[in-house]
Amino acid sequence: MGGIFSKKGPSGFSSWSTAEEVTEGIDGSGVTAIVTGGSSGILAETSRVLALRGVHVFMVVRNTEAGERVKEAILTEVPDAKVDVRELDLSSLESVRKFGANYCSSGLPLNFLVNNAGLGAAPFKLSKDGTEMQFATNHLGHILLTQLLLEIMKTTSRESKVEGRIVNVSSSLHPDGYSEGIRFNKINDEARHNRYYAYARSKLANLVHTNELTRRLKKEGVKITANSRHPGMIFTNIGRHDLLLSCFFGVSGLFNKTKTVPQGAATSCFLALNPQVKGVSGEYFVDSNVGKQSSQAKDADLAKKTVGF
């Protein structure tokens, strides 16, 4: 979990390590990345540090006004940073398709895709497409976005000779959902909805997607890796829908169990830029080190149902 009991792992980093520390001395010039998420917290820090290392960053957010404020803050610190803001609502498949089409027609390259956005412990609600909101935002939006951008990533990797990297956010809570796992036939079952189990279900789906994507990319012989990561316990807007969760984060912070935002963004930046993970794919990272996945996350039959392409 981190805190006073944190120790460095094989990578040389721990839960105390920050995004700047895990990318220190790395030159990301000439590389383009898309980072999804809210206009604060981990997205802002991930974007800032990638831009600091020379990466051309596209911050893909629902609130573009807030995104522009983050961009201006980055440019104040790093005047020559390359940062752009684009609109995307991951809970809407129409919005995802619109963004995907616009980016694909732009002629821009894409080396890294950091799927960071997430909705946590939210009360039951259906998306515009009629799917439980956490599953729609955390999984369906990202899986469609990945599908739409994958050909550009393949082309970029082939032409630039730079390994493409896909980073998906998951959670250490992924084994703690419904006993049946994802429960595809009960995604929208409001009567049996449990906001915590539903969150864990979406995080399990993220892991299964990552592992199946790895299998397919390796089969194609494409130089693109896909890994997932647990950001750690961080008091960000992800807990805004749940008073109990917010209180839990607050109490945990008193005992030095929570991470700061720079520490929470570390693993995403590590997976995107650090040369230690070159060629590594299908792994689940915690504190910039390989962690343990549940047996369900590696279930091949589950993967066929979870991955929609």
Out of 2.40.50.140, 3.40.1550.10, 2.60.40.10, 3.40.50.720, select the CATH number for domain 21-307: 3.40.50.720
- Round to whole Å and give the CA distance between 22 and 34: 19
Element (H, E) at 227: strand 224-230
Where are the chain's structural domains? 21-307
Do 290 and 230 form a contact (C-beta atoms < 8 A)?
no
Reading the chain (309 residues) residue by residue, the pLDDT tens digits are: 444 456 899 999 999 999 999 999 999 999 999 999 867 889 899 999 999 999 999 999 999 999 999 999 999 999 999 999 999 999 999 999 999 999 999 999 999 999 988 788 789 999 999 999 999 999 999 999 999 999 999 999 999 999 999 999 988 787 677 767 788 888 999 998 899 998 988 899 899 999 999 999 999 999 999 999 998 776 544 444 455 544 434 433 333 457 899 999 999 999 999 999 999 999 999 999 999 988 877 887 777 776 654
Q: How far apart are CA 259 and CA 4, in angstroms?
A: 11
Query: Among 103, 196, 199, 284, which one carries the catalytic annotation?
Result: 199
Q: Residues 97, 144: contact at Cβ < 8 Å? A: yes
Q: Containing H/E element for 166?
A: strand 164-169
Is 103 a known active-site residue?
A: no
Q: Tell me how far apart the 2 most distant CA atoms of the chain are, in Å.
A: 52
